[in-house]
């Protein structure tokens, strides 16, 4: 999952939805009518729909997977080691989550 900071949604969107600007979020496009925003720190899922009658936003709670919570709390050096040790797995959802979490934290991901 590609992790970003809430502020990337823009001030109007985070204010309207009540998302913390520093919260970990992921966005999934639901073409052609909307998108889903996952607030991974709050365990909230927002389904945004756009129709001829306007735009709607629905919020529902969801359980953040345990493996994801573990990634979010892991120290940088341990998380970087996990990234380095699992390169043979290819580009999996877990490795994508590790990579984007490290980038979000400002860890240099370029090879030494």
pLDDT in tens, the chain (112 residues): 789 999 999 998 899 999 999 999 999 998 788 999 999 999 999 999 988 888 899 999 999 999 999 999 999 999 999 999 999 999 999 999 999 999 999 998 887 6
- Taking each helix axis from N to C end, the angle separating 76-85 and 93-105, rounded to the nearest 10 degrees, works out to 140
Are 43 and 76 members of one domain? Answer: no
pTM, two decimal places: 0.86
Is 48 within a domain? Answer: yes
Q: Domain range spanning residue 83? A: 66-105
**Phi and psi of 104, rounded to 5°?**
-60, -35
Q: Is residue 111 part of a domain?
A: no
Q: How many CB atoms lie within 10 A of CB 18?
A: 11
Dihedrals phi, psi of 12, to nearest 5 degrees: -65, -45
- 8 Å CB contact between 69 and 79: no
For residue 112, being part of any structural domain is answered with no
Peptide bond into 32 cis (omega under 30): yes
Residue 93 to residue 31: CA distance in whole angstroms: 21
How confident is the model at residue 112, as a pLDDT? 66
């Amino acid at each position: 999952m590609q992790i970003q900071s809430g502020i990337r949604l823009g001030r109007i969107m985070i204010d309207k939805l009540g998302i913390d600007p520093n919260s970990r979020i992921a966005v999934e496009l639901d073409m052609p009518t909307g998108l889903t925003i996952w607030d991974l720190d709050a365990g909230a899922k927002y389904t945004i729909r756009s129709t001829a009658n306007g735009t709607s936003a629905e919020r529902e709670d969801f359980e953040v997977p345990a493996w994801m919570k573990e990634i979010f709390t892991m120290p940088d050096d341990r998380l970087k080691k996990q990234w380095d040790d699992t390169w043979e797995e290819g580009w999996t959802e877990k490795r994508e989550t590790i990579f984007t979490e490290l980038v979000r934290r400002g860890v240099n991901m370029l090879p030494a």
